[in-house]
Amino acid sequence: MIKRLIAWFRKYSVSPQEFGRWLGKEHIENPFGVDGFDCLHFVQSRLSTTEDRNIAASFVNLRQSIGSEYQGKLPANSVKITCHLEYPSSREVTNGRVFGALSMEQKWDIYLYDNHLYFCRSWTGSLVYVASFVVKEGVINISNIWGGGDIEKEYVIRQVDYLIKSHLYKPQVPHPLPSSFPRDPQAVALYFWSNYGNMCCFGTFEDTLTWDITKRNAVAKS
């Protein structure tokens, strides 16, 4: 996947400086307090296109979906991951679409049915993750995640946590990098673009699970 993305961007003559930069936690332009990769300018300056008419049609058709086709399903060859994630809940939890991509620059659709969140790719509708939760005393508690294929379990937990924080609660928060990913700016920027589109801003290898979206260490979006 990364090799194909790099080849595509080289075709359109993207200079290395455009991909972003690594910033230490003490850098004056780093608001997050962790070492990481600033990709905000890169992802906000890109446009997503596809030469595959079927994918373009799929994206358009999926804008009408309320996600009921995913109800009760799990990703193919899914693996169950036990976790403990908590988020504040100030409103009634209702079934249906809780986040829908507004353009092809946004890569995820998220649906909720019967105390399960369904995380799907916005272009193809592929079901990637399912997370089960309970709501008690104003807190959403996620205890299990299902993901398909050969997956790094800790990274899956971090990625689901990031998708919930960034797409449902809407602050700007750091997004995770897999522990084994190369520290190559071009590869990192393209990985972020492929996974999160224009919804991301700053990636890190450090712990993102403790990032409190209710306090100042989350940077509010305008």
User: pLDDT tens digits for 120-151?
Assistant: 999 999 999 999 999 998 899 999 999 987 77
At residue 221, the pLDDT reads 41
Q: How many CB atoms lie within 10 A of CB 197?
A: 20
At residue 212, the pLDDT reads 78
Pick from 130-134, 146-150, 172-176, 179-183 the range whose average pLDDT is largest.
Answer: 130-134
Provide the percentage of residues in the chain whose pLDDT is more than 70: 88
- Check whether 176 has a pLDDT greater than 90: yes
Q: What single-letter DSSP state applies at residue 67?
A: S
At residue 45, the pLDDT reads 87
- Binned at pLDDT 50, 70 and 90, residue 8 comes out as very low
At residue 213, the pLDDT reads 77
d(Cα 153, Cα 80) in Å, to the nearest integer? 9
d(Cα 9, Cα 13) in Å, to the nearest integer? 6
Instruction: Give the lowest-confidence range in 7-11, 34-38, 146-150, 218-222.
Output: 218-222
At residue 215, the pLDDT reads 58
The candidate with the shortest Cα–Cα distance to 163, out of 111, 217, 89, is 111
Structure tokens at 42: 């890169």
d(Cα 173, Cα 31) in Å, to the nearest integer? 10
pLDDT digits (tens, 9 = 90+) for 55-106: 999 999 999 999 999 999 999 999 999 999 999 987 777 899 999 999 999 9
Mean of the pLDDT values across residues 162-167? 95
Whole-prediction pTM value? 0.87
- Check whether 198 has a pLDDT greater than 50: yes
- Check whether 217 has a pLDDT greater than 60: no
- Check whether 117 has a pLDDT greater than 90: yes
